[in-house]
Amino acid sequence: MISCTKKQKNDLQEGHVHGNVNEIIVNRYKAETKFGEIVKDKIQLHTVSTFNKAGNTEASDNTWYYGSADSAEVHNNKFSFQYDDKGHNNKIIIVNKPTEYTLKKYNGELLVEVDDFESGKLSSKAKYIYDSGNLLSEINRYDANGKFTGKEKFSYANDLVSQLQVYKANGELNFKYGLTYDDNGNTLTEKQISGEYPFSHTFKYSNIDENGNWLKCISYTNGKPETYTERIIKYR
């Protein structure tokens, strides 16, 4: 979920993760209810992310599983993150697909443009606009030919995104999200409050470690358990 503040933050701070973290391992499963208890079912996602001493991502190894455990279709991407001399992440490379990468441009401390490339060619572009307090207010999106494809607009409460509006290329509102957070900045609810298929996501966190980071999260969609996520956080 997007989280934007007036002060430049590192990746761990943006993710509301505390402490001198070296690595985070995430396993996300489909959730199901057995004997009145929510338990893990089939694995959906496994990620291993490492962080530098500045708290920014160095590498991320992501594996997605589609289908049953015995015959699951598996996709893996390994990402490498590069930084400029000011510590800004200016390039993300898919290591196992080197012609697919992302370039980022900054104006001072603010990210202003993201260019995605496939087969070494520009596939899409996003331009970022900020309000007077340097909070992200709008993202405008374009295809490889420069054609406008849509935009997102952001509203805030306590420097956290409280509402996201997504628009089509013709200016029509596609859908609108409302979000709430706990005292640590973790997402509590995510509701689609307009659009063709409204829904409500709720997140419940537990197994809090000594640094105040959650190690277990169960998400619900319209009140039904949807995913069961576990984190292993390794500190320096």
Distance (Å, whole) CA 229 – CA 215: 8
pLDDT of residue 69: 58
Low-confidence ranges of the chain (pLDDT < 50): 1-7
pLDDT of residue 88: 95
Contact 24, 17 (CB under 8 A): yes
> Please, what are the domains in the chain?
12-235 (2.40.160.190)
Distance (Å, whole) CA 27 – CA 48: 9
Q: Which of the 8 DSSP states describes residue 5?
A: -
Virtual CA dihedral for 65, 17, 112, 136, nearest 10 degrees? 110
pLDDT of residue 5: 43
pTM: 0.91
Q: Residue 145: which residues within 8 A CB-CB, separation 6 or more? A: none
Q: Residue 17: which residues within 8 A CB-CB, separation 6 or more? A: 24, 213, 233
CA-CA distances (angstroms) from residue 138 to 2, 11, 127? Answer: 12, 21, 8
Distance (Å, whole) CA 3 – CA 57: 16
What's the token pair of residue 36? 């009145």
Distance (Å, whole) CA 109 – CA 104: 12
Contact 202, 219 (CB under 8 A): yes
DSSP string, 11-31: HHHHTT--S-EEEEEEEEEEE
